[in-house]
Amino acid sequence: MKKIIIHLIPVLISFAGLAVFCHTFNPIIVRGPEFLKFYFTLTIGFYLSVFCLKFFREKLSKITFYFMIFIFVLGVVKLFRGLILDRPVGILFSILVVEVIVSMILISTEFKDKIKY
């Protein structure tokens, strides 16, 4: 339960910012720069919470991976929407690539810790 609350904090902060600045809770309909601010806040906040858990030597749970998948799928949906509407999506694509790299590092260290024990 503690991990869910820790991971929900950046999600709630980024959705609150989306509601305050864009007057909506739907990140898919938000235009490019506003979505990038929302998505960047969401990813940075979430991965900071993950690294805080790793710093305190907590094991990553399935909830962490579900949040990682949710954030990645949200970015991919917006990427495809931008491609369909013929909008520039280079920054979002680079954020998604970095997110995949960081996720792979986290997953590999988690498997390395499981093998050690």
Residues spanned by the domain of 70: 2-116
Q: How far is CA 48 from the centre of its chain?
A: 10
Which single residue is written with the structure tokens 């909506």? 24
Entry pTM: 0.88
Structural domains counted in the chain: 1
Q: How many Cα atoms are found within 13 Å in the side-chain-facing hemisphere of 113?
A: 12
Dump pLDDT digits (tens) for 62-91.
Answer: 888 999 999 999 999 999 999 999 999 999
Dump pLDDT digits (tens) for 8-39.
Answer: 999 999 999 999 999 999 999 999 999 999 99
